[in-house]
Amino acid sequence: MFKKLNILDEKDKRLRMISKDVQFPLSAEDKELIDRMIEELTYSQIEEYEKKYNLRPGTGLAFPQLGLLKRIIVIVDEYEKGKFENYVVVNPVIVSNSKEMIAADVGEGCLSVNREVEGHVPRYARVTVEGYDIDGNKIKIRAREELAIAFQHEIDHLNGILFFDRINKDKPFFSEYEIRLI
Ligand code: ZN
């Protein structure tokens, strides 16, 4: 039976806290939660289930959004229509990034932010993320474009940062000349 996750709203103070590094082995509860996050994120990107379970489409979630201040992120990337790649990274760190900056043309959204927030969020076009898989093996992921944005968005959650913090209030929109819009 599918049971929806209880995702915290932006007003919850836990979303503004710094999450702690996770020790291995992961607890059974944490592993189960990761499975549920993957399931819900996948369902949310498949129209039939999105409607059936009344989900908001999302590609990523971080543990603090579920009230747990642990450095774990989950991203379900639809790299091709109907095909998904799951990324679970424990204690993720961005170890290198491109100089080039991009922003999602339509802005960003967040499953903890239940309103439209307009504005471009500047992000690195490419990042290399290091961390651990659920078994504690060291992993390294190179991400670009939308996937790079997703990693930066989720890692921000571990540091108490929400995407709209990064929107320049005096100049919320960039032109194609100033930043590459994707
Ligand atoms: Zn978010």
Note if 154 is an active site residue: yes
Alpha carbon of 116 to ligand 1 centroid (Å): 13
Alpha carbon of 136 to ligand 1 centroid (Å): 24
Q: In what order do the strands lie in the sheet with 126-132?
A: 60-62, 72-80, 83-97, 126-132, 138-144
Determine the number of helices (DSSP H) and then strands (DSSP E) in the chain.
3, 8
Question: In Å, what is the CA distance from 77 to each residue of 30, 38, 60, 148?
Answer: 21, 10, 8, 11
Catalytic site residue from 10, 48, 130, 154 = 154
Give the C-alpha separation, 84 to 94, whole Å: 23
Count CA atoms closer than 13 A to 168's CA, side-chain side: 9
**What is the bridge-based pairing of β-strands 101-103 and 83-97?**
unpaired
**pLDDT of the chain, 182 residues: tens digit per residue:** 899 999 999 999 999 999 999 999 999 999 999 999 999 999 999 999 999 999 999 999 999 999 999 999 999 999 999 999 999 999 999 999 999 999 999 999 999 999 999 999 999 999 999 999 999 999 999 999 999 999 999 999 999 999 999 999 999 999 999 999 99
Give the C-alpha separation, 157 to 124, whole Å: 16
Alpha carbon of 26 to ligand 1 centroid (Å): 23
Instruction: Give CATH for domain 26-181.
Output: 3.90.45.10
Alpha carbon of 37 to ligand 1 centroid (Å): 13
List the chain domain ranges: 26-181
